[in-house]
Amino acid sequence: MIKHVIFDFDGTIVESRYLTVELLNELAPKYRLRKIKESEYEHLRSLSIPQRCKAINLPFYKLPMLKMELTQKYRRAAASLETISGIKEVLGKLKAGGMALSIISSNSAENINTFLTHNKINFFDNIISSSGLFGKDKAIKVFLTRHTLNSKDVIYIGDECRDIIACQKNKVRIIAVTWGYDTEELLASCHPDALIHSPLEICKIIH
C-alpha cells in the first residue's frame, strides 16, 4: 500500500525547461559551450545526459561548477515560473486523501521553497535537495531509512531517466511523466513502472 508519494521538481511540478536553456545559453561564453538553438530543443530532449553534454561541448568535469551557477541564477527567476497545468489540483487531491507528499530534487531547497511559497503550494511534508546531478539514488535511500519506510510504501513521480534509475536502485516504483525534460521514447527505454501523459493519471494509478 502506498503511504508516501515523492515528486521530482523541475519538469514534473514546475515548467522550467525553457529557463534552463536560457540560462545555459547565458553561461555558454563563460564555459565555452555551444549555444542551444530553439530548433534543436526537442532533439536534445531525446538524448541522454552524456549525449547532451557532448552536443553542447560540455566536458563532464565542468558539470558541478555549471550546476552550482545555474542553481544560483535560477533563484532570481524561481518565483516567476509556472506550475505544470493540473499538477496543483492533483497534489491537493492526494493530500486530502491522506497521502504524505515530499520532494526530492537536484535543485536547491531554497529555490523550491521560493517557487512553492509564491504559488501558495503547501502540500509537502519534506523538501530534500540531493547532492549533485546523479545523487538522487542516495537521497532516496537516506529518505526511506530516516522515515522508516519500506520501498513498497513509496512511489516516485519524475520526468527523467536518471529518476527512473535512482528509483530502480532502491526498488521504488516510479511513474514517469512525459511533459518534462526527457521524451517519452527516452523514458520508455529506461522501463519505468508507468508512463503517463497527464497529471490526472497520477491519481488514477495511486488510488
Tell me the pLDDT band of 97, cut-offs 50, 70 and 90: very high
Residue 4 has pLDDT above 90, yes or no: yes
Tracing cell 504524505 back to the chain, one arrives at: 100
| CATH class for the region spanning 4-15+81-206 | alpha beta
pLDDT band of 135, cuts 50, 70, 90: confident
State yes or no: pLDDT of 171 exceeds 70. Answer: yes
- pLDDT of 28 higher than 80: yes
Residues in Cβ contact with 130 at an 8 Å cutoff, skipping those fewer than 6 apart: 104, 105, 106, 136, 138, 139
pLDDT at 149 over 90: yes
* In the chain, domain spans: 4-15+81-206, 17-79
| Residue 6 near residue 130 (C-beta atoms within 8 A) | no
Neighbours of 122 (CB within 10 A): 9
pLDDT digits (tens, 9 = 90+) for 29-88: 999 999 999 999 999 999 999 999 999 999 999 999 999 999 999 999 998 999 999 999
pTM of the model: 0.95
Please answer whether residues 177 and 5 qualify as being in contact, where contact means their C-beta atoms are separated by less than 8 angstroms.
Answer: no
Q: How much is the average pLDDT of 172-188? A: 98
> What confidence score (pLDDT) does residue 133 get?
66
Among 146, 113, 94, which residue's Cα sits nearest to residue 9? 113
Residue with grid cell 558541478, as numbered in its chain: 64
Q: Which residues pair with residue 127 across a beta bridge?
A: 103
Do residues 34 and 129 touch, judged by C-beta distance below 8 A?
A: no
Minimal CA–CA distance to 66: which of 20, 105, 103, 112?
Answer: 20
